[in-house]
Amino acid sequence: MAEYYFDIETYSKGGFPNPDTDNIISIQYQRLNSLDGKPIGNLQILKAWESNEESIIKQFFPIFKKWDFIPVGMNLTFEREFLISKFKKHIDPKITSREFYYNFPSIDIQPILVLLNGGNFKGAKLSVFTNKKEDGSRIREWYEHKEFNNIEEYIKQEAESFVEFYQKVKRNIKLLIE
């Protein structure tokens, strides 16, 4: 099964992001080589600022629904909760989380970062262990000021940092079984 780097960006009106009241402003994904984690093809970015949230959700739903890939990312529970909420809102209110949690594989690097951070969740960020420059805290400001090029640059830099880290994980995971 193909592996895809997968992430979303959200716009929160304040506080911790809420899937029921806040918006998805981008969905990004890129196929990865399942042997070494290297990118295959270009990073795809669905941008709500070029259309709207409903459009990018409807564009992504057929890809997600057929689930012939393994999402690879950071804190994928967050992405799934947002997507399920938006699928319910824009596609079918009867959609349940069971359709997207059980029997569907995913690879989440968050537990690896927690282990690398001495078992602490706080501070277990991609930016601590990679060359990622921003932590996403400015996305809200950029979105409100329509600085969409800054959001796109952030997305590309985050994807690049993630993929480099994932490649290191792939190279070194074999050490655990030797």
Residues 43-69 as b or e (16 or more Cβ within 10 Å = b): bebbbbeeeebeebbeebbeebeeeeb
Mean pLDDT of 93-98: 82
Name the residue ranges covered by the structural domains of the chain. Answer: 2-177
pLDDT (0 to 100) of residue 175? 82
Bridge partners of 72, per DSSP, are 5, 107
The edge-to-edge listing of strands for the beta sheet with 107-108 is 39-47, 23-32, 2-11, 69-73, 107-108
Residues 109-148 pLDDT 10s: 999 999 999 999 998 988 888 988 888 889 999 999 999 9
Q: Which residues contact 105 (CB under 8 A, 6 or more apart)?
A: 1, 70
Residue 98, pLDDT above cutoff 80: no
- The CATH number corresponding to 2-177 among 3.30.420.10, 4.10.1240.10, 3.20.20.370, 3.40.50.300 equals 3.30.420.10
Q: Is the pLDDT of residue 170 over 90?
A: yes
pLDDT, one tens digit per residue, over 44-83 is 999 999 999 999 999 999 887 776 789 999 999 999 999 9
